[in-house]
Structure 1
Amino acid sequence: MVASGQGADVTIIYNVLKAFETYYVAQVTITNHNPTHRIDNWRLKWDWTRQEFIHSIRGAYPTLMEQRGCIFGPQGSFYKDFDFSDVVNCQRTPEIADLPPDLANNPIKGSNPFCCRNGTILPPSIELGLSIAAFQLRVYKMPPDLNRSRIVPPMNWQLNGATYQHYQCGQPVLTEPDTLHESSIGTQMAVVSWTISCWKKRLEGLARRCCLSYSSFSSNMAIPCPTCACGCPSAHVQRCNSSASAVPVPWNALALPFEDRTKLKQSTPCGDNCGVSIHWHICSEYDNGWFGRITIFNWDSADIADWFVTMQMDQAASGIENVYSFNTTFLEGVNNTIFMHGLSGLNYIIGKKNGGKNSHIPGKQQTVIEFSRRRTPGINVLGGDGFPTKVTFNGEECSLPQTLPRFDDHGRIEGLLIALCCLFLVIVTGIISVRVLT
């Protein structure tokens, strides 16, 4: 059992499994409680305050294998006949990282539940088991703590992930012994347990990495992402105005690389420069409901695994009825937010490929979403209620368009064609229609 710490984004449980006079065995469990955030390439640090050292570790590894601190320190003087060549780390502040998947079944380094995912901890909205990481370590103690019952947890915990994922952690709090294993013959409890609560830092000034565009059946023009939404290349900064409004483009131009859109002479000199772009299109509207379509483009060369999207729709989210190609959940109590991720076997978006003739084709996934008016009477779909007010991709907030698509008569003809495309997608993918979970 892993306890949640006062609404923390992440909790770390330090469980002592076995206790001896000179050493103990502990399990460290990291649990992500935030339904819309993930951690990539996690790194965990702490301070030993009693001259302890890590003899061995399973399910993770120290980023520095270091014995000198013990050999030339007080540990070497006390443990005179000890073979320190097998000790994995003697630093006062070790840094621990996850193992790769190919070591998951290694009997010495792996074979620990919730390990070996290259440092990826997904939100519980996808799967509870994937929102947990764990490893075990054998810790040797020093005088005057040579007593089975004398155990002091590490202090000053630090949890970080990718460049934009940093957490502020509190000090360990002694809690009731954690439940380690339950079976028909009884329950195994930890010797002693501490909980460390961590909250994600809100970092200001970071460039966006994804952006959103809008279109609807009432217009033949789409509103793209803002200019330089994810930054401007230094070589273009002189001719790029990051505050300039994005110029509407034909809806089908959004699948083109930006340099090809400029040939249409309906684009600004500078693009959004985002690795991921998401397009939201309102396909059609009728008396009892309406259809929308979300398309995700991956403009980077690397594939994106275990992706997820959250979409906040202040007036429309509670009306979601069916999603035809993604796993989808309406997150109760999370600001009218819809959570979407790939179906089994489709939980990745391939990278950008060479399309020939000096052009590129982005990786893409899309689905049609059906909304009902039963729970959202009076909704003004085209007037703004049918467009997201906040979107995140893999936990990162995307830049939103500055205006909505305008109604125009010419656009309604093309809009009807797009609506037919949406209907075709519904028919084709109906066999894998996903009822929304609430």
Structure 2
Amino acid sequence: MRFFVSALFFLVIFSYAATFDPLDPNGNITIKWDIMSWTPDDYVAVVTLNNFQMYRHIMSPGWTLGWTWARREVIWSAVGAQATEQGDCSRFKGNIPHCCKTNPTFVDLLPGVPYNQQFTNCCKGGVLGAWGQDPSAAVSAFQLSVGSAGTSNRTVRLPRNFTLLGPGPGYTCGRARVVPPTIFLTPDRRRKTQALMTWNVTCTYSQILARKYPSCCVSLSSFYNDTVVPCPPCTCGCQTKDNCVKSDSKILSLVGVNTPKKDNKPLLQCTRHMCPVRVHWHVQRNYKDYWRVKVSITNFNYRMNYTLWTLVVQHPNLNNVTQVFSFDYKPLVPYESINDTGMFNGLKFFNDQLMEAGPFGNVQSEMLLRKDKNTFTLKEGWAFPRKVYFNGDECQLPPPDAYPFLPNSAYQNLLSFSTFISLFIFFLIAIW
């Protein structure tokens, strides 16, 4: 019995740790189900996905939402989304439902569908932006007409086993819970209405559940050391080592090389680390009151364009960012007393798309930081980031003992040079 309790406790703690992100403690995707009207046999509901994650978004091919009905409910019609399968509707004659499956799966519609199939915040191909990047793009919604479902708050039953998929796994959804009805404003914003019944489902992301290996890595360099610290070998696993493509391969001239596959299987450029994405952090300059860093992001996947990409960096001096060139920058303050994390993303219509591997598969920026004289140092790798996330997944950093080290003679040489200049000036004054 003690062993069972201990094992259960361990599983609960592990599950919580796997989904908790210290840089975005309140981040989740909330599914809101609002019943807007009752009819003799069904109800009309609006289903809304709100992405409250600060820097993690769902990119193409978009979200997939599923659940299991509590009874024998059917979906008569859908606007703004569609079921991936109709299921067995043989028990119906004449008017056939949109979906009869006990466990339906829905996807968003693509842009450009006819007007009568559209709904507010629909038809984005399932792309769901990050809340911290663009709140207006972090919402997706569709409408359902549900039959055989009960006709009042007392008789309706909540669906179970909600699942949410992005381009791949990683999200875990909790149980549906009834919450106070949502308040809506009429189009003229002069009158408030409310849903007849509302329930919420909260889905959280775990990188451990999403993939076995990291999806990105970090390399380091500095002006004070000629050593470039690369990503460790096979950082992202070497399963595709035999299928990787050399930069001069004739395969790259074939039609369809840059076309994504349905299973999202990557086509990677041959590298030592075998990661789809590498982030490079270069300590570029050291001034009297400031220091300068160059950040580069390289895409090694020939079948992936990263749209609306985000880069999150944790470093103690980010509370003194003075200027960022060619990237947008936004401080992230997950806790009131700590301001050491920032989010970078591309400028719209300029570099907000990180193209597939090749000549254009690279974006870069520089930033100027004001020194905190109480903490700033170039010793012991202080100038390098503590954590780096790309598109919400944590990247693998090199081991600290491999960081570019500051030569022991650096400060001595600087002192000797300063002494020489002082003596030279004193000598000139004496002659004058």
| TM-score, length of structure 1 as denominator length | 0.74
* AA in 1 matched with 2:343: F
Task: For 2:392 and 2:207, locate their aligned partners in 1 and report how far apart those are by CA, in whole Å.
Answer: 12
Task: For 1:217 and 1:258, locate their aligned partners in 2 and report how far apart those are by CA, in whole Å.
Answer: 31
CA contact (8 A) 2:86 2:101 kept: no
Using the TM superposition, give the Cα deviation of residue 149 of structure 1 relative to its aligned residue in structure 2, in angstroms. 6.5
2:49 to 23, 30, 53: 30
**Aligned positions of 1:223-302 closer than 5 A:** 223-233=229-239, 271-301=272-302, 302=304
Partner of 1:3: none
The one-character-per-residue Cα deviations of 1:327-381 (angstroms, maximum 9, x if unpaired) are 111101267221011111121012223xxxxxxx35111111111125x632214
User: What SS does the corresponding residue of 1:383 show, helix, strand or coil?
Assistant: helix
Partner of 2:20: none
Task: For 2:189 and 2:235, locate their aligned partners in 1 and report how far apart those are by CA, in whole Å.
Answer: 56
* AA in 1 matched with 2:173: C
Using the TM superposition, give the Cα deviation of residue 10 of structure 1 relative to its aligned residue in structure 2, in angstroms. 1.6
Mean Cα displacement is larger for which, 45-54 or 152-161?
152-161
Task: For 1:12 and 1:365, locate their aligned partners in 2 and report how far apart those are by CA, in whole Å.
Answer: 34
Task: For 1:54 and 1:394, locate their aligned partners in 2 and report how far apart those are by CA, in whole Å.
Answer: 35
Task: For 1:184 and 1:202, locate their aligned partners in 2 and report how far apart those are by CA, in whole Å.
Answer: 41
* AA in 1 matched with 2:403: L
User: What SS does the corresponding residue of 1:226 show, helix, strand or coil?
Assistant: coil
2:156 to 140, 151, 157: 151
The 1:381/1:329 distance shift into structure 2, 3 A limit, reads farther
1:342 to 338, 346, 349: 346
* AA in 2 matched with 1:83: N
Partner of 1:396: 393
Kindly indicate whether residue 109 of structure 2 is the aligned counterpart of residue 99 of structure 1.
Answer: yes
* AA in 2 matched with 1:60: A
1:52 to 66, 73, 90: 73
Task: For 1:258 and 1:279, locate their aligned partners in 2 and report how far apart those are by CA, in whole Å.
Answer: 23
* AA in 2 matched with 1:369: M
Identity of aligned residues (%): 26
2:185 to 181, 185, 201: 181
The 1:225/1:342 distance shift into structure 2, 3 A limit, reads same
* AA in 2 matched with 1:307: W
Task: For 1:234 and 1:304, locate their aligned partners in 2 and report how far apart those are by CA, in whole Å.
Answer: 20
List runs of 5+ in structure 2 lacking aligned partners: 1-24, 250-269, 411-432
The one-character-per-residue Cα deviations of 1:24-44 (angstroms, maximum 9, x if unpaired) are 110111111121322232111
CA contact (8 A) 2:75 2:146 kept: yes
2:199 to 194, 200, 204: 194
CA contact (8 A) 2:378 2:406 kept: no
Kindly indicate whether residue 33 of structure 2 is the aligned counterpart of residue 14 of structure 1.
Answer: yes
Partner of 2:98: 88
The 1:180/1:381 distance shift into structure 2, 3 A limit, reads farther
* AA in 1 matched with 2:176: P
CA contact (8 A) 1:219 1:407 kept: yes
User: What SS does the corresponding residue of 1:388 show, helix, strand or coil?
Assistant: coil
Using the TM superposition, give the Cα deviation of residue 100 of structure 1 relative to its aligned residue in structure 2, in angstroms. 1.5
| TM-score, length of structure 2 as denominator length | 0.75
Using the TM superposition, give the Cα deviation of residue 408 of structure 1 relative to its aligned residue in structure 2, in angstroms. 5.4
CA contact (8 A) 1:316 1:385 kept: no
The one-character-per-residue Cα deviations of 1:154-201 (angstroms, maximum 9, x if unpaired) are 2221112122x4222222211111023354421121111111122223
User: What SS does the corresponding residue of 2:117 show, helix, strand or coil?
Assistant: coil
Task: For 2:354 and 2:207, locate their aligned partners in 1 and report how far apart those are by CA, in whole Å.
Answer: 27
Partner of 1:109: 117
Task: For 1:184 and 1:236, locate their aligned partners in 2 and report how far apart those are by CA, in whole Å.
Answer: 60
**Aligned positions of 1:339-418 closer than 5 A:** 339-346=343-350, 347-353=352-358, 361=359, 363-374=361-372, 377-402=374-399, 403-407=402-406
User: For this pair of structures, how many residues does the alignment match?
Assistant: 354
CA contact (8 A) 1:212 1:224 kept: yes
Task: For 2:95 and 2:377, locate their aligned partners in 1 and report how far apart those are by CA, in whole Å.
Answer: 73
CA contact (8 A) 2:55 2:133 kept: no
What root-mean-square deviation, in Å, do the aligned CA atoms of Structure 1 and Structure 2 show? Answer: 2.8
* AA in 2 matched with 1:46: W
* AA in 1 matched with 2:42: Y
CA contact (8 A) 1:52 1:140 kept: yes
